[in-house]
Amino acid sequence: MKAKAEIEDTKNLYDYWGERLYRSVLDDSRIIINLASKEYSKCIEKYLSDKDKYITVTFCEQSGDDLLFLQNKKCTNCREMNTMRGLSRKLYLDLSVPTEEDQRSDQQRILEALSAEGVKEEVHIPVRMLRQLYPLLDRAGWKITVSLSWNGEKWELVDIESGDTARQHYGLAVDLGSTTVVVRLLDCNSGEILGEESCFNKQIQWGTDILSRIFFCKDDRKKLEEIRLATVESIIECMDKLDVKHPVSRKCLSMVVAGNTTMIHFLLGIDAFCVFYTPHAVHADRPGFQPAKDLDIPLNGYVYCYPAKSNYLGGDIISGMIETELYKKDGISVFFDIGTNGELVIGNKDFLLCGAGAAGPALEGGVVHTGMRADAGAVDSVRIRGGKIHVHVIGNSSGKISPKGICGSGIVDLIAELFLEGWIDIRGKFSPEKTNLIQKREGQLCIEYAPGLYFYQKDIDEFILTKAAAHIMVEIMLRESGLELNQADRFYVAGSFGKYVSVESAITIGMYPDMEREKMINAGNSSLEGAQKLLLNKELLADIDQILEEMTYIQFAEVDDFLEQMVAAQALPHTDYKKYPTVMEKLKKRQNICFY
């Protein structure tokens, strides 16, 4: 039974669950709902004295309508109601004691008990577990809990405990980003999120950009091992943080990791120069399930790494497909994840067209004079009103933190505002006659966006290359698929950059297409969400194979008019201003400029 409700507290459950549920409400107004399977006909039971086993709901009347309100969303799963079928299983077994009449081996006794509990796939018991059977079984009175972890082909028994510990069943979902690593702890019985922690990827010490890290360890096994250990230590740091509130991370049975192709190579200790260098044939695109111990990750079970489609389109994007279910939908969807690389997928249940390219470190402030990551002291939002620049600083709720630099979302805002005010032109060049805030320093024009912090002409020029690359990815992909922008039903913006950047500002500078805003969906950290989904649902492994099979990869650089398109996209918002009608309206309101 899944603890997390998929409905709002005030939803009319009569409409949601049907008449059969309505008639089954008991006299004491308490019922049981299986929120994971939605099969109410099988899951309505009398309310028992052990309240921890079930979700409690209260029956009441409001405006003459019968409503059910969730009173307590948290529950502890009982075995008979557990519908989770993830990458791990934990089952309590009450084994029969050996007798003269029953001389089955301990191994066979466990395997047959697992089959009786519904485990139909093959189960492998490794020798390290066989060695524990005696005297553990005898001391436990033949009442044990076994932990199973899926290894890609069959279940592997990875732990045996005395008594009933089946409720203590945990797993980890990981977003292995080049800048930030995020680890989420889950109750694998209920699907409940117990905690989430993040830290900066320790690889950063060898370069904020991926290319620097690739060259650092190229053809050097010792340096590659340093990178690998830094990657693992980043994950373990997050696990340690989780243990402060929930000291169970080392008891987890499975881990799912989603990351780009380079990050997965580094996690596995594989040289990633192949990702960057022609012919771009990577060393491992489907690493699958690996024993956690082989990766020095302190778990008993297996680690699954999402597969990659190509050198630049990695497992984080495949995980995003699982989260958004783009591959199941009838309508056309666009999935866009932009960071150091830009990855794009267009399609539906009938086709998937994908491509990727380098977007550059500008989105993380990497090429800006005063650029920085989105950390305390970073300017993340900018507005120009009445000829004055107003900024928002991360972590400055108390008013005691001064701005230290500007991050990606702040850069997009700043360029958009400079353009709308007319302080930079369509080429992104400063117009010093428009304001005395524009000055000359170090031989080039710049503007002071915060006390002592300057944004230079070169910064704008570098960022325009990044935004142009983002624009042509969408434009070329739509053209190659034979589609028009207005045919897209949804435009998913994924990744940390997409989560925090202003959609309006991104459209203003031509980074995103000018389309109906209601179609634009913030997919958040779809990489992490997809990792969680798979952790809790083993059947999605077949969906991953389907996605990879259906994807057709487009090499942007091989498109005939790539350079021509790139040049056209370097204007603000674009050389063809008719592609951006809402931006033209904004310019008309701000500057009384009409392009029509």
Domain made up of 84-162: CATH architecture:
Roll (3.10)
Per-residue pLDDT at 153: 97
Indicate whether 72 pLDDT > 50.
Answer: no
User: So what's the pLDDT on residue 49?
Assistant: 34
Which H or E run includes 156?
Answer: strand 155-162
Fold that domain 172-305 belongs to in CATH: Nucleotidyltransferase; domain 5 (3.30.420)
Q: Which of 25-29, 120-124, 588-592 has the lowest mean pLDDT?
A: 25-29
Asked if the model's pLDDT at residue 571 lies above 50, the reply is: yes
In this predicted structure, the answer to whether residue 23 has a pLDDT above a threshold of 60 is: no
- Degrees (nearest 5) of the Cα angle 315, 320, 324? 155
Closest CA to 340 of 433, 263, 257: 263
Task: Output the pLDDT for position 496.
Answer: 75
**Residue-range domain boundaries for the chain:** 13-77, 84-162, 172-305, 318-596
Predicted confidence at residue 179, as pLDDT, reads 87
The Cα 489–Cα 501 span in angstroms is 21
d(CA 273, CA 218): 6
Q: Which pLDDT does position 594 carry in this prediction?
A: 61
Residue 456's pLDDT is 96
- What mean pLDDT do residues 261-278 have? 94
Residues in the chain: 596
Give yes or no for residue 63 having a pLDDT over 60.
no
Q: What tokens appear for 476 in the block?
A: 């070329």
Examine the pLDDT at 538 and tell me if it is beyond 70.
yes
- Output the pLDDT for position 70: 35
Q: How far apart are CA 417 and CA 440, in angstroms?
A: 20
Q: Give per-residue pLDDT as tens, 140-186.
A: 999 999 999 999 999 999 999 999 999 999 999 999 999 899 999 99
In percent, the amount of the chain with pLDDT more than 70 equals: 83
Amino acid letter at 533? K
pLDDT of residue 541: 98
Binned at pLDDT 50, 70 and 90, residue 6 comes out as very low
The string of pLDDT tens digits covering residues 360-375 is 555 555 568 898 888 8
Backbone angles phi, psi at 249, to 5 degrees: -60, -35
10 Å Cβ neighbour count for 291? 17
pLDDT at 342: 85
Whether cis (ω within 30° of 0) applies to the bond prior to 135 is: yes
Question: Which whole number is the average pLDDT over 238-247?
Answer: 97
Q: How confident is the model at residue 279 (pLDDT cuts 50, 70, 90)?
A: confident
Is 306 in contact with 259 (CB distance < 8 Å)?
yes
Q: Residue 111: count other Cβ atoms within 10 Å of its Cβ.
A: 18
Mean pLDDT computed over every residue of the chain? 85
Residue 495: the pLDDT is: 82
pLDDT value of position 297 = 98
- Digit-coded pLDDT (tens) for 462-495: 899 989 988 999 999 999 889 999 999 999 999 8
* CA 527 to each of CA 201, 260, 272: distance values in angstroms, whole numbers, following the listed order: 16, 10, 21
Q: For residues 534 and 210, which has the higher predicted lDDT (pLDDT)? A: 534
Q: Computed over its alpha carbons, how large is the radius of gyration of the chain?
A: 28
What does the pLDDT read at residue 360? 57
**pLDDT at residue 503 in the model:** 94
Residue type at 5? Answer: A
